[in-house]
Amino acid sequence: MKESKSNKKKLITKLSARSTPAPTTNRDIFIRDLEGELVDMNDPECEKILAVIRETIKLTHKFNSSAHSPKKSRKLFSKIIGQKLDDKSWIIPPFYVDFGKNIRVGKNFFMNQACTFMDRGGITIGDDVFIAPKVCLTTINHDFDPYHRTATFCKPIVIGNRVWIGINVTICPGVTIGDNAIIAAGSVVTKDVPENAIVGGNPARVLKMLEFE
């Protein structure tokens, strides 16, 4: 039996702003994608997005397929994201990413191996951020309508300064992590994290607050 329109409406109203797309406009496909509008991958305009993804796949393969000096790694990673990394940043391959061009990274960035960034909604990382192995930052969601799952929408991830993200953490679309926060290993972060908080669990919750001079 099909759900009534009223039941569907009730379901939609229960979803958070992170779980629902922005109102649809006729703007450029990249702007619509970055600002959280529903984008149907069957739309001919999506070829522009797919072209960037294909180029990023090539660059990522080159980054992951050989041992590079730290300087060479920074140069290749800079090409993937379209932004020059500072000389103190260190990225350890392999690294997996779907789009690449919506990543912005601050100074003295360290990322360990086997991390995955799904960045079409935008990933912004502050200064002095440490990211452990196998961390997943994903900004993209599929439409909740089971008959329209080819459509996607994005929400940005923002990571403050001096954040430490532990091994095998997943950070979901729309999450902001405050300065100095620590994300415990294995956590799934579905809500914003306050400054100076240590969070852990699935879903992650505040375990304690940091105290320092």
CA 66 to chain centre: 25
Q: Are 62 and 106 in contact (CB under 8 A)?
A: no
- Sheet harboring 39-40: ordered strands across? 39-40, 151-154, 140-142
Tell me if residue 142 is catalytic.
yes
**pLDDT for residue 159:** 98
Q: What percent of the chain has pLDDT over 90?
A: 82
Distance CA 96, CA 132 (A): 14
**pLDDT for residue 213:** 73
Task: Give this prediction's pTM.
Answer: 0.90
**pLDDT for residue 1:** 44
**pLDDT for residue 134:** 98
177-189 pLDDT tens trace: 999 999 999 999 9
Measuring CA to CA, how many Å separate 109 from each of 42, 48, 98, 104, 119? 37, 30, 20, 11, 17
Q: Which two tokens stand for residue 92?
A: 């350890």
**pLDDT for residue 5:** 54
**pLDDT for residue 42:** 87
Distance CA 185, CA 176 (A): 18
| Residue 15, pLDDT above cutoff 70 | no
User: Helices then strands (H, E): number in the chain?
Assistant: 4, 19
Q: List the single range of 122-136, 137-151, 170-184 with lowest mean pLDDT.
A: 137-151
- pLDDT class for 9, splitting at 50, 70, 90? low
76-131 pLDDT tens trace: 999 999 999 999 999 999 999 999 999 999 999 999 999 999 999 999 999 999 99
More confident of the two residues 131 and 23: 131
Distance CA 178, CA 57 (A): 31
Given the residues 61, 68, 142, 148, the one annotated as active site: 142
**pLDDT for residue 212:** 81
**pLDDT for residue 4:** 53
Compute and round to an integer the Cα radius of gyration of the chain.
18
> Across all residues in the chain, what is the average pLDDT?
92
Distance CA 195, CA 66 (A): 38
